[in-house]
Amino acid sequence: MNSARNLIQLSNFYRAKLYDELELKHPEAFDNSDDEACIRGTEVMCRFLKERLTEDNIELNEDGFDMLCQDFFGSHLFYERADKLKAKGTGDKAEDSL
């Protein structure tokens, strides 16, 4: 990986706003109950982030996007939210549909 991978990060305000929208549109993204769920969630989050950045006219090269992706789904705030949703039973929508 690029040694400068943490140079670009989302602000806490913008990240929280994105998590709110992601939770409404794709609550399954917060399901980290097993490896397959994590892979699906990561794919959903990457697509979602790319769409939102495009809507907000934020242009990045591949390295920049990778940095923001890592920040987006590697944040402790993501895991806190995932734990809260799991406790409420809304983060496991993918399992419910099986």
Tell me the per-residue pLDDT of 4-27, one tens digit each, with 9 for 90 and over: 667 889 999 999 999 999 999 999
- Produce one character per residue of 19-30: b if its CB has 16 or more CB atoms within 10 Å, e if not: beebbeebbbbb
The answer to whether residue 7 sits within a structural domain is: no
pLDDT, position 91: 47
Tell me the per-residue pLDDT of 39-65, one tens digit each, with 9 for 90 and over: 999 999 999 999 999 999 999 999 999
The answer to whether residue 19 sits within a structural domain is: yes
Quote the Cα angle for 92-11-76, to 5°. Answer: 40
Q: How confident is the model at residue 32 (pLDDT cuts 50, 70, 90)?
A: confident
The answer to whether residue 21 sits within a structural domain is: yes
Domain count, the chain: 1
Q: How confident is the model at residue 97 (pLDDT cuts 50, 70, 90)?
A: very low
The answer to whether residue 86 sits within a structural domain is: yes
Domain range holding 45?
A: 12-96
The answer to whether residue 4 sits within a structural domain is: no
The answer to whether residue 71 sits within a structural domain is: yes
